[in-house]
Each structure stands twice: as C-alpha cells, then as structure tokens.
Amino acid sequence: MILVISLAIAVMFAAGAYLMLKRDLIRLIAGMILIGNAANLFIMASGLRRGAAPILPVEEPTADPLVQAMVLTAIVISFATAALALALVYRVYISHYSVDLSRLSAAEEQQAERDEPMTEDLREGVRDDTDGEASPDDRRARAEAIR
C-alpha cells in the first residue's frame, strides 16, 4: 500500500513538474494543480492508519482524523490559488489574445521599445514609471499588432 501511494505521488509530481516547464500558461497551471495534489496525497499518506471511523465514543482503534482535516484545508487553498492563476491567465488572454509566455515576453519587449524614445537619455533605471499607464485603447491596439 505504501509503495502504491508513493508511486502515485511520484508520478503526479513528475507529471506536474514536466507541465510546469511548458511555455503554455494553461499547461503551467495544470502542472501547479497536479503538484499541489501530489502534496495533498502526501499528507494523507503521512497519517494513514487502518481503523474505524473516529466518532465518539471511541472504543476500538480509529483512523487519524486530523490528516483529513488538514488535507481538506490544503485542497481549499490550492483550489483558491488555481482559480486566481486561471483568472490571471484570462486577463493575459483578453489583453494579448494569447496564453503563451513567449508571446508575453515579446509584447514586453515591444512595449519597452515603444517607451524607448522617451527614455533615450540616462533614464534606464526609472523606466518602471511609465509602465502600466497605457490606456486600454493602447493595449488593444498592441494586442491587435501582435496578432
């Protein structure tokens, strides 16, 4: 049983790590979810014990209820993180029409070039200021251009 569970954890973790190396954001998030669930399975495994349901009054040896409570919490947390990351991907999609990380860096470079005329002189370091102030129209136009 221990072998089966540890194999399952290992396979999930490996698959998740493989997906996380992809440039595609959806795959990246699928990888995150898999790794998170591998950790959840690990918690389950850390308190795995045979026994009756832990309901009072306790008469015979019971299973450990605490790990299940912990896993429940961890699942909720990883669910929230995954939802947040997916929302972020959606934001990237509506502003760039793409969910590819390399496209995103290309857009970043383009923006840096667009900012260049203003920052020709010694301003290298303070370029951050001009970020994020592009109007929605600007952004849409840029997304069209990338397309």
**Interface residues with other proteins (CB under 8 A)?**
20, 25, 28, 32, 35-36, 38-39, 42-43, 46-47, 66-67, 70, 73-74, 77, 80-81, 84-85, 88, 91-92, 95-96, 101, 104-105, 107-108, 111, 121-129, 131-132, 134
- If the CB atoms of residues 53 and 119 are measured against other proteins, the closer one turns out to be 119
* 75 contact partners, CB below 8 Å, separation of at least 6: 37, 40
The token pair that represents 119 in the structure block: 């920052």
DSSP 58: P
- If the CB atoms of residues 116 and 129 are measured against other proteins, the closer one turns out to be 129
Strand partners, 57: none
- If the CB atoms of residues 52 and 105 are measured against other proteins, the closer one turns out to be 105
Helix/strand/coil percent split, the chain, to 5:
75, 5, 20
